[in-house]
Amino acid sequence: MDQLKIDKMSTIKTNGTGAARTSLPVLSHFKSEHLVAGFSGGVVSTLMLHPLDLIKIRFAVNDGATKSLPQYSGLRQAMREIIRLDGWKGLYRGVTPNVLGSGSSWGCYFFFYNSIKTWIQGGDAKTPLGPYLHMFAAAEAGVLTLIITNPIWVVKTRLCLQYKTDLTLSESKRYSGMIDAITKIYRTEGVRGLYKGFVPGMFGVSHGAIQFMLYEEMKADYNVYRKMAIDTKLGNMEYLTFAAISKLIAAFLTYPYQVVRARVQDHHHDYKGTWDCVQVTWRGEGWRGFYKGLSANLTRVVPATVITMVVYENVSRFMMNKPSIESKQSPKFNRSEQTSMPVAIKNIRN
């Protein structure tokens, strides 16, 4: 009778555990440390470099035909003109949604990317993935992140494009802050208004996929060159170099989508959709129109990515290596050992 009870107990325990593991196995690889570290990196880099992001957006949406918009001849002239009209605080228009959006985007991206990557590796960080699987994990993480953060980017873009000299803009498109912008966009344009630029943003997933594939492959190859495990932590100089190279290549290859997305989200224009924006830009400005603001963008994104990556790598290393208070106080009972204990008892009795 006792033998029968033990057999039933082991069957129930192992079946229950198996169902939980096979239903959503990727959930077992979720680690909040990646979310916190990515959020920290995004916030730090945004606070330091927001003025360049604002100027990049203004360059990107300037089609040369809308006379109500300020005309800038270069990076320095744009900065001087903004300070002259709005003061130093003008350089930080839209900083709140940018900090929230950048922190959330990097946090979610690292969280999803590392969870998917670890799931593909089967929990073994030393298993090499190769470029295609790195791109696959990065692309999936990019799509999930975009779904969550697109409304924040719409608000940030519109707040960055508020001009004191624009007197013809209707009151419904004048925003005093982030909450006011969300309220007015939702009231006048509905949910669709908050997801403007989503389609070009989906193309932009390739940006993150290329960047992370290059970044991860360079880290892995460098460790192989040093004859060390591919997940061995590097120094800040190596992270800085690999982050800069991967971002430069990805930014140059995929920049046109950022121009299209910014123009679709701009409330000064009324494009029928993404394809209409592409056609109008091509007819009016040619291929150069898709690279407007590239110099300002590279001036911003390369140091921003370097700062984000270095902060992320160091914060995640600190959090992952920090011993928990619970483990110091008392030994934890392993759930897997608890599950297999009845099976072990059965084997002993046999």
Tens-digit pLDDT profile for residues 3-44: 544 444 444 444 444 444 444 555 556 677 888 888 898 899
Q: Given a cut of 90, is residue 91 above it in pLDDT?
A: no
Domain annotation covers residue 208? yes
Q: Is pLDDT larger for residue 116 or for residue 126?
A: 116
- Alpha-carbon span 87 to 232, nearest angstrom: 47
pLDDT band at 75 (very low <50, low <70, confident <90, very high): confident
Asked if 14 and 89 count as a contact pair (C-beta separation under 8 A), the reply is no
Domain annotation covers residue 74? no
Question: How many domains does one find in the chain?
Answer: 1
pLDDT for res 145: 92
Q: Given a cut of 90, is residue 348 above it in pLDDT?
A: no
Going by C-alpha positions, the residue among 31, 180, 171, 173 that lies closest to residue 110 is 31
- Mean pLDDT across the chain: 78
Domain annotation covers residue 220? yes
Going by C-alpha positions, the residue among 37, 17, 21 that lies closest to residue 29 is 21
Looking at beta carbons, which pairs linking 7-12 to residues 24 or more positions away fall under 8 Å? 7/346, 9/342, 10/342, 10/343, 10/346
> What's the angle, vertex CA 206, arms to CA 205 and CA 209, rounded to 5?
90
pLDDT digits 0-9 by tens, 284-310: 888 888 888 788 778 877 888 888 888
Domain annotation covers residue 215? yes
pLDDT for res 144: 92
- Alpha-carbon span 180 to 168, nearest angstrom: 19
Domain annotation covers residue 268? yes
pLDDT for res 325: 41
pLDDT for res 160: 83
pLDDT digits 0-9 by tens, 220-269: 999 999 999 888 888 888 988 998 899 889 888 888 888 888 888 887 77
Residue 336 CB-density burial (10 A; 0-12 exposed, 13-18 middle, 19+ buried): exposed
Question: How much of the chain exceeds pLDDT 70, in percent?
Answer: 80
Q: Given a cut of 60, is residue 194 above it in pLDDT?
A: yes
pLDDT digits 0-9 by tens, 320-332: 776 544 444 444 4
Domain annotation covers residue 235? yes
pLDDT for res 337: 42
Domain encompassing residue 214? 198-283
- Alpha-carbon span 75 to 83, nearest angstrom: 13
Q: Given a cut of 50, is residue 317 above it in pLDDT?
A: yes
Domain annotation covers residue 150? no
pLDDT for res 339: 39
Going by C-alpha positions, the residue among 30, 36, 27, 74 that lies closest to residue 55 is 74
DSSP assignment of 275-288 equals HHHHHHHHHHHGGG
pLDDT digits 0-9 by tens, 197-222: 888 888 778 888 898 899 989 999 99
